[in-house]
Structure formats: C-alpha cells, structure tokens
Chain A
Amino acid sequence: DAGVTQSPTHLIKTRGQQVTLRCSPKSGHDTVSWYQQALGQGPQFIFQYYEEEERQRGNFPDRFSGHQFPNYSSELNVNALLLGDSALYLCASSFTGSGWEQYFGPGTRLTVT
C-alpha cells in the first residue's frame, strides 16, 4: 500500500521565482492538506483540498495557491518567492470521516536564495 508521495525532494529557487510542489495521497484517501514547517517549529497549516475545492485555509498570503485533481493528487504553488518561504513543505492525506487522522508525505525542502 503506497503511502503519501511528494515531489521533488529538494528544490532551490531564487527570490521572485515561482514554484510548484506535488503530492499524491495515500490510497483510499480523498483529502489533501498542505503545511509549512520552518526549522525548529511545528508544521503550520496552509490549506486543505477536498473534492477539488479549497475547504479550509490558514494564515498564508494569496501567493500560496493550490489545486486538487480528480485523482485526489494535489499541487501547491507559491509565487513571488521570498527568503522567508524557505522551509519544509509537507503534504498530508486523510479520508473524510475517518477521525481526521492525517498522514504525512516525506516533504519537499525548499530553499530560496
């Protein structure tokens, strides 16, 4: 049973550029949530997608946007990158009605220079 997968593993970008991160949920899961984790901090909720719509959003600017596809996979897009966007980006999948247990992928380490 494949777990949550994310790509790429690592990414280096320059300030002002745009980036797209990808996530495939665990088999049987229909909900994808994205989190940002800065060094030494707990993950911070960015947004959640269910049935191809953004269901909930955290305190992140509009530069952060996402998408969910019919096969439940998801993308996170960040425009106009800032140095402060450097972090580990985590995707978590869950099944609606399962008690809200979320399972994380390996993450994408984004470095903005």
Chain B
Amino acid sequence: QKEVEQNSGPLSVPEGAIASLNCTYSDRVSQSFFWYRQYSGKSPELIMSIYSNGDKEDGRFTAQLNKASQYVSLLIRDSQPSDSATYLCAVNNLGYNKLIFGAGTRLAVHP
C-alpha cells in the first residue's frame, strides 16, 4: 500500500464546474496536509495547507480533512481552463520533517 494515494486521472470537468480531487494516506499519525499545483514542466506551487479536521476555504479552493477516514480532498469551484494542471497531495508528520507526496491527479478543464 502506498503511503499517499491519488487517482491519476485525468479528471475532466467543464469550465465553471466544481472539480473534486481526492487523496488517502496510510499513516494515522500524519498531522499536516498540503495541496500543490504543478503545471507541466514547472515546479509544484503550494495552494492549500490544512491541519485540523473540517473544511478550509481560500478563494475558489476548499480543502477538506477527515483524519478518522484518513482522507483529504480539494474542491475547486468555478473551474477555469487555467486550473488545468497536476494536483499533488502531500502529507507530513509533525516532528518528522519530510513531505510524502502522492503521484498526483491530472485535472483538465475544458471550455
């Protein structure tokens, strides 16, 4: 079992729709959770961090965390073609400094 799992996609959504990206992790002691966006040929860009159960909203992005189910998700509202990228889920254990990444989900937003 991989430590962080994501559906590789591609996830295809029409412009203006809600894109829902999911991530599961195996280590119950994981404490910090991050979503990165990576455009083709570029480096990952941090878009959301979440540390406690529930929802965290930032503009069109909402991160959701459920530690009991070991599940993290990212919702992108009013999806735009410029949101087309690979979204990487990353997990960190406090006191254990490395980020563990999933392989990423490729999102395609079509006009």
Contacts and interface: CB of A to CB of B under 8 A. Distances in A.
The answer to whether A and B assemble together is: yes
B43 A100 contact: no
Contacts, number: 58
A102 B59 CA distance: 21
Contacts of A58: 98
B94 A100 contact: yes
Interface string A76-98: 00000000000010101000000
Contacts of B103: 40-42
Chain B, interface size category, equals: 20 to 34
Given A42-B88, A103-B46, 20 more contacts: A31-B97, A33-B97, A40-B103, A41-B103, A42-B90, A42-B103, A43-B44, A43-B101, A45-B99, A48-B98, A55-B97, A88-B43, A90-B43, A99-B51, A100-B32, A100-B97, A101-B49, A102-B99, A104-B43, A104-B45
13 contacts: A40-B103, A41-B103, A43-B44, A43-B88, A55-B97, A56-B97, A99-B32, A100-B92, A100-B94, A102-B99, A103-B46, A106-B43, A107-B42
